[in-house]
A and B are shown apart, each in its own frame.
Chain A
Amino acid sequence: MAATLFDKVWTAHEVVPETADTPAVLYIDLHLIHEVTSPQAFSVLRSQNLPVRRPDRTLATMDHSTPTLTEQVFGNVPIKVDAAAKQVRQLEINAAEFGIELFDMKDGRRGIVHVISPELGCTQPGMTIVCGDSHTSTHGAFGALAFGMGSTEVGHVFATQCLLQRKPKTFAINVEGALRPGVTAKDLILAIIGKIGVSGGTGYVFEYRGSTIRGLSMDERMTICNMSIEAGARAGMIAPDDITFEYLESKPRAPKGADWDTAVARWRTLVSDPGAVFDASVDIDATALEPMITYGTNPGMVVPLSGAVPQKSGDAVYDKALAYMGFHGGEAMLGKPVDVVFIGSCTNGRLEDLQAAARVLKGRKVAAGVRLLIVPGSQQIKHDAETLGLAQIFKDAGADWRESGCSMCLGMNGDTVAPGQYSISTSNRNFEGRQGVGARTLLVSPMTAAASAVRGKIADPREYL
């Protein structure tokens, strides 16, 4: 029977198939951990005197609560928040005690967990990949089945290398046509979320398909899959192809020599068969898309950049969101004020994102009164951006160029937006208070963020290309 990409990966990892009474026992190939959602799981292991069963399939980094100031990462200036410092220290203790490889604070391979695993070649097609973090969906860009989970399940994977899972449904997202200049993968995924809604994917695994997706780079595909969870889907997948293999071949932990050839032959089978049936589908015309921007307090509240805040009457929840944002129905998005611009995160903190921002910022200055914070997704990307001269472009423009981490995406490390301030952000969530108490977040692409930093108001990046 014709199978979907998801079906193939799922079936290959069923240790025990599901029954009416019991979920499937699903094997996990790669378990990524970080300092925030792992400590309680290690405590469970200690209390039951259990080892991490497969430390060789486990990789640890620190990203969420880590500082981005160079003197705090590499110097002797302590982490500002005591609890964060303790959490980082606890991961060092746990990794050492349970024999897990850890990229610690000063390691050149450290970075956001969803950025470093692909760039090391740990993320590979056909794998099952989990992490105590909802943006684990990012790794689906390689044709892996990758999803986030809570800390109890982190403990399950530690102890057994498996999870109990019900088989989700499949949802085909068909995207056809070329994106216009200035319209990016971020704009595409925001448009998709706007179309199907923030819970439209609940219970499903997405497969992004079609000519538009085939034409995207791996960095762009990761941006798309990353935000699957913002439409409610735990995972989003893209079938691997030559673009995937070309990206992976040079990565340090990808298979080498004859193993590479064997792996690629197997990976080429990881496509949805002709006639494979999906439980749901939607068609998107990429040629019609414009740069997108959110105006409310969830990622589904999104309009074209040239549009206006939608008007709705008699909807108290909608009114509350607009009141939080300080917006009124009918107001144009372009020209709205900007206080802070954040370029970074597991959504848009990769090298191509920084290159896109640099195209706009080159030879220009950040507007007076605007703070531009640029945080690379990993130390490797920081190094590359410095080698390629991007970092100098950012510094010349007046941006604050930092060490890698999650940073202002969720403000755990002290990189926050002040109450009431408007933050034009390339991250993934515009929830109330996400970037700081009272912070007002508008989600955009790196180019739109850079253009808005220069203008000092929400600006169309196409005027700067």
Chain B
Amino acid sequence: MQPLQRVRSKSVVIDSTNVDTDQIIPARFLTTTTKEGLGQQLFCDWRYLPDGKPNPDFILNKPEAAGCQILVAGRNFGCGSSREHAPWALVDYGFRAVISTEIADIFKSNALKNGLLPITVDESTAQWLLTHPGADIDIDLTSTRLTLPTGVAVTFPIEAFARHCLLNGIDELGYLRSKLDTIERYEAARPW
């Protein structure tokens, strides 16, 4: 994995609460056996009309969304299915961070393993972000600070080990495998 220290980009806003992973990537696209190319189907049923043409009202089809790496959404983003295809699709499309007041547990865990920063912020920061689409946002993982173009900066929580792995491009599996001796001792010692 590539190290990830900072994301600076304009924001895209999806002002909906409880955006579930079935919206991010519908189940009919989960028949794939690889991770690649899912960005094409990201938000498919919102992004395309029934005839397959882009829905001009959906934000990702508007010119100002091009190249944006930061997605701002309402409370409880990524709820529902555990499909890692959701962060795969977001990353394949080009997103590097998702900001909300609340992010679902499994989605958050999956995002951190794929170089997608799940950033939770307080209600007033979220309200500012939701009402200022296209704002230039600076997310610094080293200092765990998110800075708005107004100069206002807030710190965000992020699990310490996941942050360490993201900053240094470390794969968590390598760390887990370094514990194999301890795992074997645990198995041998367990009475049941």
Contact = CB atoms under 8 A, between A and B. Distances in A.
A42 B54 CA distance: 35
Contacts of A84: 31
B164 A410 contact: no
A432 B30 contact: no
A463 interface: no
B137 to A, nearest CB: 23
Contacts, number: 175
A40 B182 CA distance: 27
Contacts of A36: 30-31, 83
Contact of A159 (B32, B76, B159, B173): B173
A135 to B, nearest CB: 9
A424 B159 CA distance: 40
Contacts of A389: none
A22 B183 contact: no
A27 B186 contact: yes
B80 A431 contact: yes
B27 A150 contact: no
B76 A27 contact: no
A436 B79 CA distance: 19
Interface stretch (A180-188, A198-206, A339-347, A356-364): A198-206
B82 A149 contact: yes
B167 interface: no
Given A39-B33, A232-B105, A431 B23 contact: yes
Given A160-B179, A317-B74, A437-B50, A150 B84 contact: yes
Interface residues of B, number: 52
Interface string A84-122: 101100100000000000000000000000000000000
Contacts of A37: 30, 82-84
B109 A411 contact: no
A138 interface: no
B50 A419 contact: yes
A150 B82 contact: yes
Given A133-B82, A198-B18, A155 B173 contact: yes
B27 A162 contact: no
A160 B113 contact: no
Interface string A148-178: 1111110110011111101010000000000
B152 interface: no
A40 B27 CA distance: 16
Interface in A238-276: 262-263, 266
B45 A433 contact: yes
Contacts of B16: 317, 320
B172 to A, nearest CB: 6
7 contacts: A23-B159, A40-B84, A230-B80, A234-B106, A429-B22, A429-B81, A433-B22
Interface of B: 15-18, 20, 22-23, 26-28, 30-35, 45, 50, 74-76, 79-84, 87, 102, 104-106, 109-110, 113-114, 159-161, 164, 172-173, 175-177, 179-180, 182-183, 186-187, 192
